[in-house]
Amino acid sequence: MRIKHKNRRITLTLLVLSFLTIACTLVGDHFRTLQVEAYERRLEGLQLLDELSAGSDRLTASVRAYSATGQRRYWEAFEDEIQVARTREQAVERLLKLGLSESEQTLLRKAKQNSDALVSLESEAFEAAGQGDLETAIRIVYSDEYRRRKASVTTPIKDCRISLEARLAKEASSLAHRSTFMADLSLLAILINVTAILSALFFFYRRQVVNPLADLNQSLNDLLAQKPDVIISHQDNTSEIGEIARSLESYRQAAETAKAERWIKDHVNDISGSLQTAQTPKEFGERLLSKLMPLLDAGCGAFYRVENSRQKLCLLAGYGIQPPESSESSIGMNEGILGQCLKENKTLVITDLPADYIKIASGTGAAAPKVLLTVPILALDRAMGVLEIALLKPLDDQRATLLDEVAKTIALNLEILNRSLVASVTAQDEQP
């Protein structure tokens, strides 16, 4: 799969996980807010119920004090609570706004109605006390009927308090559990998100992007530094990395080809330049072998020139072998491998040479060659010589191409040398 598609999927996955994390956090905060509001409503409800109960108690205290003393200030306190402060009415109104349940509203209305009924009884006590009949007033406010009516006010308030406290406490507890659950879920989402991010960084971007790009960058630097045997990795990768790797490999192959061609061209030009200044066939052969044999990693070799006048191959120069002792060192053009090479006009390759065929020797040892090459030197399909080369291993493609190109320049320069020699002889013969 291409990196672009994988990156899109990873990005989408991380966005979804991030969205879930944020959503869980927001929902958890919402539940915590509702929990706080539930506790606040519970506290406010209890305070309002206390105010409702306290308002009724203040009325009771005022009427009893007035019944016992007849002092007007108690009557004024009673009237102030009824007409001005209106603690009970305000408490009821605010309680109804808290969103009480149906049963709680019924209890609250019942307590208010019973409190109003109690006020009518208290008004009788005030009337008796106002007429100076304190005994009757006291009997009213301390009678069983008064206590029964008073209880009918406080009991619904207590029941409403118990119900409200239990309901809001349960609601707050439920919201607390939900908030805790969402907090845990949010934490889990965060862990999953972090794990996904780390996995993407280490297992995708690092292994499939960063490391391969680093490897390709190193390979490119090695190519630019012209280091040998550079290996371009990740070529089997199906992503954009693989395309880059295959492009680098194409560049490497092109660079290697250009380098090989330049190497061949430079050495061909060097050998050709050296041969052009040769004055004699022997010098020509010696220069040729001294330049060519090290380039081919050859152990030994020889260069033969065709002498058409005698139909012979004359050994002009040797490399790593005993040089010819006289100009009579020659063989027939139809003899042996050299003759067969000229007859077929193509390079002959002989392998599995016998151990006693020839030795490639140095000061530290000797070894038998593994390959023998005979290369015809042709000018317009006319044989001009043969190049014989003994090798410890077969030529690679680059050196084989070099040998083919050198064979062409040998023929050209040898033809020029022969014409120069003929012209020189002709000039000497014409001299008086």
Low-confidence ranges of the chain (pLDDT < 50): 324, 326-328
Residues spanned by the domain of 289: 262-430
**Residue of 25, 10, 29 lying closest to 195 (CA atoms):** 10
- Any domain includes 252: no
Beta-carbon contacts of residue 327 (< 8 Å; ≥ 6 apart): 314
d(CA 357, CA 359): 7
Q: What CATH number is associated with residue 92?
A: 1.20.120.1730
285 and 405 belong to one structural domain: yes
For residues 38, 42, 48, 49, the Cα torsion angle rounded to the nearest 10 degrees is 140
Beta strands, E only, 181-320:
298-307, 312-319
DSSP assignment of 414-425 equals HHHHHHHHHHHH
271 and 186 belong to one structural domain: no
- Any domain includes 15: yes
Mean pLDDT of the chain: 82
170 and 271 belong to one structural domain: no
267 and 136 belong to one structural domain: no
Give the pLDDT confidence score for residue 25 in this predicted structure.
Answer: 85
CA atoms in the 13 A half-sphere facing the CB of 200? 17
Helices (H), 70-210: 72-79, 87-96, 102-130, 134-141, 144-199
- Any domain includes 150: yes
Give the pLDDT confidence score for residue 270 in this predicted structure.
Answer: 93
Q: What CATH number is associated with residue 349?
A: 3.30.450.40
Number of domains in the chain: 2
267 and 369 belong to one structural domain: yes
pTM tops 0.75: no
22 and 143 belong to one structural domain: yes
Query: How many other β-carbons are positioned within 10 Å of the β-carbon of residue 114?
Result: 21
Give the pLDDT confidence score for residue 118 in this predicted structure.
Answer: 79
